[in-house]
Chain A
């Protein structure tokens, strides 16, 4: 089947769609009659919530990199490693593969998440530079990879539970693990607060964006 006629949004039809169960209701309905979720045509506070969680997440990400993630005690030495320090050491021992995995999971992905979420929010706020399709794709990428950063915290948990060989070697978690976990949780909340329908509102000519800003502030583009 092909799409017949012009695509319309629930908002343009004077309706409100439920993001949980996709049922449409007349505009102004408070709760979805099918699933009981609270209905909002657009989340007016979306961008404020996104930026608030984003900022707290970033604030936690700084100590996550400064404090040690792991403290390793062996017969001869005691050393504490930050995230980057641990990866560098692995690389020096020739473990390039593992070092790259750790750098990707704990540096590249978190930084990419901060950049992408900020980019999406700025796109809605200032008017987008890229098409709705691409922005929606990036949004789904952020939503998908967000949880996977928690892998670092799990690795620390497994290593510290497992490597407890009395005097020979023991690993204990460092303070950074808590900050890193908080950073992941806050960026997940930031991504969840983003109302993806706003991406498409700024895409089409004639739509009034609804995010608490004057509509003059937003440059509109016709759909690609």
Chain B
């Protein structure tokens, strides 16, 4: 763990702003340190992670993002869950789950679809668009900066992993009144959630913004 140096001399400020880094959490200013691979630089005051570079993170991120995209499309179409009770059988796909709210509540269906399918997908498409030219050492894509800004702003609204936990709770609730069958989409979704979490931990925002600057 590396702590960046605090810059105590205000005169330094005017000279090379590019060398400084301000903590987004608490506004403390540091001279951006050299952070080695797999090290993390924390803010000394609020412990916000400032820099956490990974070798070849760009290529890994694109690979993971493409995997998740394919899984989301597949998981939306294939059977997700089904129940058997009293000789009756009923199954639901992820899309059908999102459209469970009808009538006055149908606006909620749109929101659920956004949270669990559209926003996670959009984030990954944006990430691929931003990173693809960078890993090939080309100049950044034309709209790379607004695209990455949007992708970052969408982060709290991407709720695939919460939906996965919701499935677990729902299954416990109906577990003793019906037999639940997992479709292929359920397993795809489980894998997808793990990859989404890994993708977010692999990403060093500072490094990506730095490479978009050139």
A-to-B contact residues, CB < 8 Å: 1-15, 17-26, 34-37, 90, 97-98, 101-102, 105, 132-133, 136, 143, 146-148, 150-166, 168-169, 173, 175, 177-178, 181, 185, 188, 192, 196-197, 199-200
Contact = CB atoms under 8 A, between A and B. Distances in A.
A4 to B, nearest CB: 5
Given A136-B25, A151-B162, A165 B156 contact: no
Ordered nearest first, which 4 A-B pairs have the shortest CB separation?
A17-B22, A5-B8, A154-B166, A21-B209
Given A1-B5, A98-B172, A155-B170, A25 B17 contact: yes
Interface string B4-47: 11111110011001101111111111000100000000001111
Given A151-B169, A196-B25, A34 B213 contact: yes
B98 to A, nearest CB: 7
Contact of B156 (A136, A160, A161, A188): A188
Interface string B197-214: 000000001100110110
Contacts, number: 231
Given A36-B149, A162-B81, A178 B8 contact: no
Contacts of B148: 35
Contacts of A19: 24
Given A2-B3, A4-B6, A18-B22, A162 B174 contact: yes
B108 interface: yes
B142 to A, nearest CB: 13
Nearest to A156: B100
Contact of B23 (A2, A17, A143, A178): A17
